[in-house]
Amino acid sequence: MKILVLNCGSSSIKYALYNMDDRSVVTSGGIEKIGLPDSFIKIKLADGKKVQINEPIPEHTKGVQFIFQVLTTGEYAVLKDLHELDAVGHRMVHGGEKFNKSVLLTDEVMADFAACNDLAPLHNPANIKGVNAVKTLLPEIPQVGVFDTAFHQTMPDYAYMYAVPYELYEKYGVRRYGFHGTSHRYVSQRVCEYLGIKPEGTKIITCHIGNGASIAAVKDGKCVDTSMGLTPLEGLMMGTRSGDIDAGAVTFIMDKEHLDSKGLSDLLNKKSGLAGVSGLSNDFRDILAGIAAGNNRARVAKEMYTYHIKKYIGEYAAAMGGVDIILFTGGAGENQWEVREGATQGLEFMGVKMDEQKNRSCRATEAVISAADSKVTVCVIPTDEELMIAQDTLELVK
């Protein structure tokens, strides 16, 4: 079975083609800068080499069409014919309260999904464009939607409600939804396979630390709390997002800087986090280089970053009445031992004992990084959202 996974953003489309017989990636890549004259596609070939083709892509249907063309014709072709494709799985961002699992994308489902557009005005319309583009080009092919928010739909009401007038929840759906759900689901399942245990009876804290970062409490395989909220801005300090901030500070900044909601949203989403505090970069590697060069703002940015993760670990251990496994994933969680070390330092009181050597030598590979006699098992599990989407798609079309 061949399954194409699409992740359609407002100006980009990422794709991965899977052969589900052995769960291998046949090819992958992405179009960037859709709508701009210098748009291009990057293709990752089977041998790992990358090539770039410049091509003006004015909108999403043209983008999907170009991906299909690259898959079937020319020197990078991997399919004889598009009909070799069995299904398409889409990453869908905000499923609101309507979707608690992946679904086949019928017209009725798409109408329900479009009703969530208000909650993710930049992302959901781009996802819809991707689904419609495939429908136009391959009307018969089954399409599946896998929602970023779905895994978090098991949170209890006291965890997802905000303490604002209840009518705001009833009128507009103002509540915590959480994001990165496909990643939290994948790694929380995968760690159980890796350790040879069942999800039932386990208390896992999953730390997805990338440019966007979130953390989830997963009890018996189900999410009971997560740090992102109505939008991906809440929770941990991120590359360019502030994470948690006093709402009073928000109105104070708006008044002082004469910002409207758009200006404030830009400030908190794009100019804050590691980039805003350090003044250097949103990339953790640049922060470490800044520290090595004696930059004090880089030091405080790093310490804030890991301190926030540690506080959430404590919070979620309390929420679940303990923790058995803490795992790190995402670009920084997988690759940066400094993040893992900083986030777990001082947690010995709750049974966390790291193996410093194992932690420092682990890079983007599945590993246990706690000491053999640690009560809590600390792991690194590289995430694979695309594989999860391909698997869900296979399940639903099979």
Which positions are catalytic? 148
Query: How far is CA 163 from each of CA 168, 176, 177, 221, rounded to the nearest angstrom?
Result: 10, 11, 15, 27
How many whole angstroms separate alpha carbon 376 and alpha carbon 365?
A: 19
Residue of 18, 68, 151, 284 interacting with ligand AMP (CB under 6 A): 284
Per CB under 6 A, the segment of 75-83, 161-169, 327-335, 384-392 that binds ligand AMP is 327-335
Does 12 interact with ligand AMP (rule: CB under 6 A)? no
In the complex, least distance from residue 8 CB atom to ligand AMP, rounded to whole angstroms: 18
Phi, psi angles (nearest 5°) of residue 367: -165, 150
In the complex, least distance from residue 286 CB atom to ligand AMP, rounded to whole angstroms: 8
Does 186 interact with ligand AMP (rule: CB under 6 A)? no
- Tell me the HSE value of 72 on the side-chain side, using a 13 A CA sphere: 13
Structure tokens that stand for 44 in this block? 């990752």
Does 336 interact with ligand AMP (rule: CB under 6 A)? yes
Q: Which residue is nearest to ligand AMP (CB)?
A: 331
Per CB under 6 A, the segment of 70-78, 87-95, 290-298, 326-334 that binds ligand AMP is 326-334
In the complex, least distance from residue 75 CB atom to ligand AMP, rounded to whole angstroms: 29
SS3 55: coil
Q: Are 154 and 99 in contact (CB under 8 A)?
A: no
Does 330 interact with ligand AMP (rule: CB under 6 A)? yes
Q: Are 95 and 144 in contact (CB under 8 A)?
A: no
Q: Are 3 and 89 in contact (CB under 8 A)?
A: yes
Does 181 interact with ligand AMP (rule: CB under 6 A)? no
Residue of 102, 143, 278, 335 interacting with ligand AMP (CB under 6 A): 335
Contacts of 127 (CB under 8 A, 6+ apart): 8, 90, 91, 92, 93, 113, 145
Residue of 285, 318, 346, 356 interacting with ligand AMP (CB under 6 A): 285
Tell me, what DSSP letter sits at residue 331?
Answer: H
Per CB under 6 A, the segment of 14-22, 53-61, 251-259, 328-336 that binds ligand AMP is 328-336
How many whole angstroms separate alpha carbon 313 and alpha carbon 319?
A: 10
Q: Which is nearer to ligand AMP, 113 or 284 (CB)?
A: 284
Does 235 interact with ligand AMP (rule: CB under 6 A)? no
How many whole angstroms separate alpha carbon 26 and alpha carbon 42?
A: 15
Binding mask 199-218 for ligand AMP (x = CB under 6 A): -----------xx-------
Binding mask 264-283 for ligand AMP (x = CB under 6 A): -------------------x
Does 331 interact with ligand AMP (rule: CB under 6 A)? yes
Q: Which is nearer to ligand AMP, 220 or 286 (CB)?
A: 286
Can you point out the beta strands (E) in 71-212?
87-92, 103-104, 143-147, 203-209
In the complex, least distance from residue 15 CB atom to ligand AMP, rounded to whole angstroms: 17
Does 50 interact with ligand AMP (rule: CB under 6 A)? no
DSSP 8-20: E-SS-EEEEEEET
Does 187 interact with ligand AMP (rule: CB under 6 A)? no
In the complex, least distance from residue 102 CB atom to ligand AMP, rounded to whole angstroms: 22
In the complex, least distance from residue 336 CB atom to ligand AMP, rounded to whole angstroms: 5
Per CB under 6 A, the segment of 250-258, 292-300, 325-333, 345-353 that binds ligand AMP is 325-333
Q: Are 317 and 309 in contact (CB under 8 A)?
A: no
Q: Which is nearer to ligand AMP, 232 or 330 (CB)?
A: 330
How many whole angstroms separate alpha carbon 193 and alpha carbon 183?
A: 15
Query: How far is CA 300 from each of CA 56, 287, 295, 304, rounded to the nearest angstrom?
Result: 43, 10, 9, 6
Residue 353 neighbours by CB distance under 10 Å? 15
Q: Which is nearer to ligand AMP, 324 or 384 (CB)?
A: 384
Residues found near ligand AMP in the complex (CB under 6 A): 210-211, 239, 283-285, 330-332, 335-336
